[in-house]
Amino acid sequence: MKIVILDSYTCNPGDLSWSCLEQFGQVEIYPRTKKEDTVSRIGDAEIIVTNKTIIDRMIMDSCRHLKLICVSATGYNVIDVEAAKDFGILVCNTPAYSTDSVAQLIFAHILAFCNKVESHSSEVSKGLWSQQKDFCFWLTPQIELANKTIGFVGFGKIGQKAAEIASAFGMNILAYDLFRGNFCDQSFHQRFQYCSLEELLHQADFISLNCPLTEENKYMINTDSLTQMKPTAFLLNTSRGPLVNEADLAQALNNGTIAGAGLDVLGQEPPAPDNPLLLATNITITPHIAWASKEARQRLILLTRDNIEGYLHGKPIHVVNP
């Protein structure tokens, strides 16, 4: 049996191994695949693994041996799942592999605002501390998280994991979610409450977007929602870039409508050089790395192995087009 990995590089730039898939058959690995090369590289493969390479109806129609598409990501918008169903092709994703890593980056952005460790360290290295008349100095107000309020828009596994961290800091926790599931952990329960989106926007000192992108919530963060936030509030987005109207956010940051923003995702990735957020004030932007810890990527590969094994044993898991 032939397995083709179409774009291995982002998941595994060389610090991990795909060898766990070799037990299932011949494995062909491509770091990246251009659209025009997709059909020829899939060839007569029964199973493919893709991260961002688009697999549409035309490609499926041209690759009639294909039976399983493993998406090495949680989101599977690169796959035409309806076409896959028509062709009898199973599509499996890899859920929840990066929960801990994403929650950690949320707080990396929060703490970057609160303490400005990098800026202070840089100025110390330049000699600014040595020039002080007093034993200490600070460039920006130091913010304590205890008793601050963090609001989660979307309260699934990542939101709840970040809420556990927030609780450890002594923060109050608000959540807005259309689908209120069971808590993964009750440790933050005493400091937690569900609320409306309007209440969350008005009350939270930090607002973290942790919801999937839908047609209904596209650009949910815009001039109207930003003006409902406190002028001292910070916005975090580690979910999907198009949840945010980037021009509106840039204007809000430059005008002081809100205090800052920490983003790990943008509407276009890589961003266009003229993206207004690249020059906005009081913003930290990381290049979509919340998921990318070595530990999380190792889990992703192992989940891909599990998806293939389940398919071969007639018990497929993580199927998104049943």
The answer to whether the Cα torsion of 25, 26, 32, 33 is positive or negative is negative
Please count the other Cβ atoms lying within 10 Å of the Cβ belonging to residue 38: 23
Same fold, 2-97+294-312 and 99-285: yes
Query: Which CATH class, in words, describes the domain spanning 99-285?
Result: alpha beta
The pTM assigned to this predicted structure is 0.92
Q: What is the pLDDT of residue 191?
A: 82
Residue from 257, 255, 179 nearest 225 by CA: 257
Token pair listed for 103:
């929650």
What is the C-alpha to C-alpha distance for residues 114 and 129, in angstroms, rounded to an integer? 20
Residue extents of the structural domains in the chain: 2-97+294-312, 99-285
Active site residues per annotation: 240, 269, 288
Range 2-97+294-312: architecture per CATH: 3-Layer(aba) Sandwich (3.40)
Residue whose C-alpha is closest to residue 70's, from 304, 298, 299: 304
d(CA 262, CA 234): 8
Give the length of the chain.
322
Output the CA angle 246-249-252, nearest 5 degrees.
155
pLDDT at 182: 62
Phi-psi region of 209 (alpha: psi -120 to 50; beta: other; left: phi over 0): beta
Question: What's residue 183's pLDDT?
Answer: 62
Q: Encode the chain (322 residues) as per-residue pLDDT tens digits.
A: 999 999 999 999 999 999 999 999 999 999 999 999 999 999 999 999 999 999 999 999 999 999 999 999 998 999 999 999 999 999 999 999 999 999 999 999 999 999 999 999 999 999 999 999 999 999 999 999 999 999 999 999 999 999 999 999 999 999 999 887 666 666 667 789 999 999 999 999 999 999 999 999 999 999 999 999 999 999 999 999 999 999 999 999 999 999 999 999 999 999 999 999 999 999 999 999 999 999 999 999 999 999 999 999 999 999 999 9
Distance CA 27, CA 284 (A): 39
